Structures are given as C-alpha cells and as structure tokens.
Amino acid sequence: MKVRILVSFKNSVLDPQGQTVKNALHTLGYGFIKDVRQGKVFEIDLKEIPRSEVEKVVPEFADKVLANPIIEKFSWQIIEE
C-alpha cells in the first residue's frame, strides 16, 4: 500500500516562495493566476498492515514528523496499486 501526503502552509501563513512563483508567472504573461501556495509531497510505501491501522498511524506521523503543526497543514490519501 502507498500513501501520498501533501504538506502546505496554513492559509494564515505568508508563503514567500509561492508569491515569488506567482510574480514570475505574471511576468511571463499568466496574469490570470490569482495565487500560488507551495508545499511538499511525500509518497510513502507501507508494509502490509490493515487499512484501519494505516488510517490511525498516517495522521500521527504526518503531524509529528512531516508537518510543523504551528504553520503547516496536511492532507493525505491512500493510493491503490
């Protein structure tokens, strides 16, 4: 089983890298782009464990290790193979 975890800044946190990308896109003529938020994507292969266990541990380790809960949020999904 594989999970994909997306970590990004909370909406209330300034994202200077996202702003830089947005400005570059505007300079290239893509003025219709309203906002850009950058983030991190983790794809993690798991050993054979029950789905109920996955649903318990993924949010646990994402919150403890992958995201800084003060300024970041995360979402995740199971990728069926």
34 is in which domain, residue-wise?
Answer: 2-79
pLDDT of 32 reads 98
Instruction: Look up the CATH number of the domain holding residue 15.
Output: 3.30.1280.10
How far is residue 62's CA from residue 7's CA, in Å, rounded to a whole number?
9
How far is residue 6's CA from residue 37's CA, in Å, rounded to a whole number?
12
How far is residue 46's CA from residue 69's CA, in Å, rounded to a whole number?
23
Asked if residues 71 and 10 have their Cβ atoms less than 8 Å apart, the reply is: yes
* pLDDT, mean of each 10-residue run, the chain (81 residues): 96 95 98 96 95 96 96 94 62
Other CB atoms within 10 Å distance of the CB of residue 3: 18
**The two structure tokens encoding residue 66:** 């992958």
Number of domains comprising the chain: 1
pLDDT of 6 reads 97
Which pTM value belongs to this model? Answer: 0.84
pLDDT of 80 reads 75
**3-class SS of residue 52:** helix
